[in-house]
Structure 1
Amino acid sequence: MPLYKTIHPDSKTIVKIWKIDESYDDLMESTHLKPKSLERVLRMKSELHQRGFLSVRCLLAEFGYQDSDLFYDEHGKPHLKDGKQISITHSFNFSAVIVSDLIVGIDIEKQREKITIIAHKFVDYEEDYLNKDGASYIRKLTAIWCVKESLFKLFATPGLSFRKHCLVIPFSIKDNETIAWVDYETKKCRYNIRFLEFEGFTCAYAIA
């Protein structure tokens, strides 16, 4: 079973990361999907997305859940029937799930040079402390994206902008943590964010 890593950020929260080594057929055979989920995965045009979707169901099983325990609200935010908080992510050959008593968000992204092309869409305040120097710039941009995506999932508010409403204070990659703010309309919220790197990927998770 390619469970890659399990993290216990606190007594109320668990993060599990899966390395997707299995074929689509093997993953499909090892999961039991409700009809709606089966229809959804069969409609996916990319096998990479299909494997990501199915690997998340494998991670649910690692937590003791089934696909039938998971549902989505009108904004696409996932929920568990037992009331626990959950957030889900997958990118290429990695997926991750965070489950907690607290509101959470998680994101995984592959570190790629193309992120420099879209940096202007999600970086504002952070531009002042970023050093545009090769691989370290790409790693920091990827971390900032993951932090803001995890906040977006946690906050779950239509209209929230990565660039306008999410702010990541200066950080060092080696510290594996930072502080971020969401400043949206009348709400101003501070979050402690943790992140990690592995095999050319970055994962960040936010806990309210």
Structure 2
Amino acid sequence: MPIVRQWTVFEECLLLIWEIFEPIEELQEGLVATAEEWAEYETISHPQKRLEWITGRRAMQSIVEASGRIYTGMQKDNFGKPFLNNAVAEISLTHTARFVVVALHPSVSLGVDLERVAPKLARVAPKFLSDSETTHAGEQLERLCTYWCAKEALYKLHGTRNLSFKEEIFVHPFTDENDFFTGEIFPIHTPLPRQQHRLYRFRVDDFLGVLAV
């Protein structure tokens, strides 16, 4: 069964983890997609990218239908933020070579990210962590991954480009035991107000993910 887990967070937000292992031919069966979506699919040449494209939409169709809504396809706006064709809910998705994670909320913008807990995060940490975040994370890979995924999720939630992970997206101190924490977006180059958001951390195998709502 490709669905690893499906559950509810923050009362109204659905999360679903889908493992990528089925043949493309099986994934195509029953997939709802517009002519424009299939045209986009045909422009993808790399087999793995094609598999991720198909799997992401199958997972999204599954979570939308599980919520009792009708799925009519999915597109992305000019900033790359996904949205449902019939706008029946807010959505987000992320994928690795092994898993797709999709999230749905009836009315509130959200973002989700998933990454493997790996040493490479320590090398790039100075590019995305503030001084206080650097102190808190230290050299603990799981904390570094939590910060990265949280900031990615907040960036996706915000839905525009040119936000600095280090200077405009902040994650409040969290504990290793509590998977619920908070963060904020503080745009310094636009008149938008500071935005506080809830964060939720989850795990699947050696991957760590964060949902932002």
TM-score by length of 1: 0.88
Deviations 1:35-88 (A, max 9, x none): 33223333334322222211111112212254x432222212111223411111
Residue 30 of structure 1: how far off its partner (Å): 4.9
Q: 1:77 maps to what in 2?
A: 81
Alignment of 1:47-196 (within 5 A): 47-62=47-62, 63-64=64-65, 65-66=70-71, 68-80=72-84, 81-100=86-105, 101-125=107-131, 126-132=133-139, 137-185=140-188, 186=191, 187-196=193-202
Deviations 1:162-197 (A, max 9, x none): 111011122223311221111113421111200111
Q: 1:43 maps to what in 2?
A: 43
Q: Distance in 2 between matches of 1:22 and 1:75?
A: 30
TM-score by length of 2: 0.86
Q: In proportion to residue count, which structure has more helix? A: 1
Amino acid at match of 1:77: K
Q: Distance in 2 between matches of 1:206 and 1:18?
A: 19
Amino acid at match of 2:73: D
Which stretches of structure 1, 4 residues or longer, exceed 3 Å deviation after superposition? none
Contact 2:57/2:74, CA 8 A, preserved across alignment: no
Q: Distance in 2 between matches of 1:25 and 1:173?
A: 41
Amino acid at match of 2:79: H
Alignment of 1:13-32 (within 5 A): 13-32=13-32
Q: Which runs of 5+ in 2 are unaligned?
A: none
Q: Which runs of 5+ in 1 are unaligned?
A: none
Q: Which moved more, 1:173-182 or 1:142-151?
A: 173-182
- Kindly, what percent of the aligned residue pairs are identical? 22
